[in-house]
Amino acid sequence: MVVNFWHSKFFKDKEQGLPSFHSIQDLKSVGIDLKPSGTCSMRDVSFTSLCLAGRLKLPPMIVDDSTWPTFLNLIAYEMCPDNFSTNYEVTSYICFLNRLIECPNDVKELRSANILHNLLGPDNDVVQLLNEMAKDLVPNAEVYRNVIAK
């Protein structure tokens, strides 16, 4: 079975130049495996095509009570008018995660793959946290374009 990842089921915004994709559950259903990347850097996100499957590597992340203020402060720093060198990596990463994690089962898959360590509470709390953090954020479409396109 060959999967066309540009199919509208997985990339619904392609015509606007912004590749879109669905949740971890959807990616797993077409044979994409999840692995932790070698570092905790938000830049260490990669996808490798493996014949009829694929492997998405994401940096390990701990979600706890400090996640909200930490990320919001980093996003605020990115938005500072005198911060000319930013590519909005933190903003883009939060939006990327928010698009991957749509439901508690997505969080469960990431926990099972040792990518996400939930110290916040029920998995639904992680979903709500990401939804709230990503609300009104505009990511840099170039940051993860290559990973999404693969």
- Please name the residues in contact with 87: beta carbons below 8 A apart, sequence gap of 6 or more: 140, 142, 143
* 40 occurs within a structural domain: yes
How far apart are alpha carbons 17 and 13 in whole angstroms? 7
For residue 61, what are the β-bridge partners?
A: 116
* 44 occurs within a structural domain: yes
Domain count, the chain: 1
* 5 occurs within a structural domain: no
Which of 49-53, 75-79, 92-96, 128-132 comes out lowest in average pLDDT?
A: 49-53
- Domain range for residue 49? 14-149
* 132 occurs within a structural domain: yes
* 1 occurs within a structural domain: no
How far apart are alpha carbons 48 and 35 in whole angstroms? 11
* 62 occurs within a structural domain: yes
* 24 occurs within a structural domain: yes
> pLDDT digits over 27-60, tens only?
999 899 999 999 999 989 999 988 888 999 999 9
Whether this model's pTM surpasses 0.95: no
Q: Which residue has the higher pLDDT, 147 or 106?
A: 106
* 49 occurs within a structural domain: yes
